[in-house]
Structure 1
Amino acid sequence: MRLHLITVGEPRLAYARLGWAEYEGRLRRYHKVQVTRVSGKTTAAEGAAVLRAAGRAPLTLLDPRGQQWSSEELSAHLGAQALAGHGELAFAVGGPDGHPEELRAQARWLWSLGRLTLPHDLAMVVLLEALYRAATISAGEPYHRG
């Protein structure tokens, strides 16, 4: 399955750039990965850019109002989407001000990484690690020790 990772901007801090590179490389062992970086002068412009980038792929927005998934639930979700015939899934991390309401309304899923507010750079790394962990669960590999 192709995982299309859409971010508003790119990681700025050194730790986040290293974390992104590490987990993107790991994730590529299990999925085809496409990364699109978008920008905009307003959250509405960012939202429109995210929607264009996602195209026809079902879109998941990282959003504090979304559903929280355990690692096992995320793994099962990805597997179910593959079985449903979705060859591509898009995941979007918004800018520091989040996603506009218009984009939320058009997303297939809203996914919350938890009740904590994470810095933008850290949220990008957590997204990749969570997807990698879910892939290793599906593959029956010992990375996850839940």
Structure 2
Amino acid sequence: MRLHFITVGEPRLDYAKRGWEEYHQRLTRYHKLKTTRLKDRADPTQDILKATGNAYLMLLDPRGKQFTSEELSMHLEQVALSGHGEMALVIGGPDGHSDELRSKAHFLWSMGKLTFPHDLAMVVMLEALYRASTIAKGEPYHRG
């Protein structure tokens, strides 16, 4: 399955750039990847929908469902088996997502009750997806 990362803005801090590059590279073993970086503007909803196309739309949103690593792995497998060839994972800007965008999403994913800086959220998302992908393949990265 192709993972399409759509971010409002891009990592600015050195640790986040390095983390993004590291986990993005690791994920290429398991998925085809695409990244779209959108400019931070008042309401990027239409830009996000245009970038998403017909992909399965999964927003990072504090109102969403929290996963264990194993549950995220199963969710990725279920989406792939449902016939979606692409999953668009969206990290919004500092104001989060609009109600319109949330209503059009297939799924809202919460990484927890904590609020993360934008740069850190990007790295945590990629690491979680990498971990979930190794679980699906039965590889030893995850020791839960």
**TM-score higher than 0.5:** yes
The two structures, once aligned, show a CA RMSD in angstroms of 0.7
Among candidates 45, 68, 71, match of residue 69 of structure 2: 71
Instruction: Write the deviation string for residues 61-99 of structure 1: whole angstroms up to 9, x where unpaired.
Output: 000000001110010011111111111111000011111
Instruction: Give the match for residue 41 of structure 2.
Output: 41
TM-score for both structures, normalised by structure 2: 0.98
| Alignment match, 2:12 | 12
- Structure 1 moving runs of 4+ over 2 Å: none
The correspondence for 2:56, drawn from 42, 55, 58, is: 58
How many matched pairs? Answer: 144
Shift of 1:26: 0.2
Contact 1:68 1:111 in 2 (8 A): yes
TM norm structure 1: 0.96
Is the CA contact (8 Å cut-off) linking 2:9 and 2:40 kept in structure 1? no
1:96 corresponds to 2:94: yes
1:7 touches 1:92 (CA, 8 Å); kept in 2? yes
For the residues of structure 1 that align with 2:116 and 2:41, how far apart are their CA atoms? 22
Gaps of 5+ in 1: none
**For residues 95 and 38 of structure 2, what CA distance do their matches in structure 1 show?**
14
Structure 2 unaligned regions, length at least 5: none
- Any idea what the Cα deviations from partners look like across 1:112-131, whole Å, max 9, x if unmatched? 00000000000000110011
Aligned partners of 1:6 and 1:37 also within 8 Å? yes
Match of 1:4, SS?
strand
**Partners of 2:26 and 2:45 in 1: CA distance:** 28
Distance between the aligned counterparts of 2:95 and 2:15, measured in 1? 21
The one-letter code sitting in structure 1 at the alignment partner of 2:139 is: E
Q: Letter of the aligned partner of 1:122 in structure 2?
A: L
Correspondence for 1:29: 29
Whole-Å separation in 2 of the counterparts to 1:16 and 1:97: 20
- Deviations, residues 41-62 of structure 1 (Å, cap 9, x unaligned): 21x2x12111111100010000
Q: Which amino acid aligns with 1:19?
A: G
